[in-house]
Amino acid sequence: MASLAGRHGWWTAKASPNTTRPGQRVTCYCNLGGFAEETIGSADNCFVLAEGVRYEVASVIVLAYGTSWHALLDHTGLVAAETVLVLGAAAGGLAAIDIAKTAGARVIAAASSQEKLDICK
């Protein structure tokens, strides 16, 4: 049996018990199958897309924030007053900065230029 990789994706909802209506555009963090044309995801992990948000953008947001959330909160248990060093902060690290600050952590951003560091403020 072939496996379809991917833990994030975008679809048009077909059915959901509570959070979506058939036909709504959603993005979802799923266990597997994110690159498939259709997949099954938990309604708790699906988010209705605002009008005008492209599927590709929604997918990247779920990937960046989902990965950072898992690394900082689920895996390491980050709490307020801890310090987080974010390498490559102006690229994928922006989500990590946002989540760490929201959690009350002190954030140190590292990037290859002052211009990139200015993005992180």
What domain count does the chain have? 1
Q: Assess if residue 40 is contained within a domain.
A: yes
Range of the domain at 25: 1-55
pLDDT more than 70, % of the chain: 80
Report the distance separating Cα 72 and Cα 102, nearest Å. 11
> Residue 1: pLDDT band by 50, 70, 90 thresholds?
very low
Closest CA to 8 of 53, 55, 51: 55
Three-point CA angle 59, 40, 38, nearest 5°: 70
Q: Assess if residue 25 is contained within a domain.
A: yes
Three-point CA angle 35, 16, 49, nearest 5°: 60
Burial pattern 66-83, b for ≥16 Cβ within 10 A else e, equals bbbbeebeeeeebeeeee
Q: Assess if residue 3 is contained within a domain.
A: yes
Mean pLDDT of the 101-114 span? 95
Q: Assess if residue 90 is contained within a domain.
A: no
Q: Assess if residue 97 is contained within a domain.
A: no
Question: From the CA atom positions of the chain, what is the Rg in Å?
Answer: 17
Q: Assess if residue 50 is contained within a domain.
A: yes
Mean pLDDT of the 31-56 span? 77
Contact 94, 68 (CB under 8 A): no
Q: Assess if residue 81 is contained within a domain.
A: no
Q: Assess if residue 77 is contained within a domain.
A: no
- The answer on pLDDT for 95 being more than 80 is yes
Q: What is the pLDDT of residue 14?
A: 57
Q: What is the pLDDT of residue 9?
A: 54
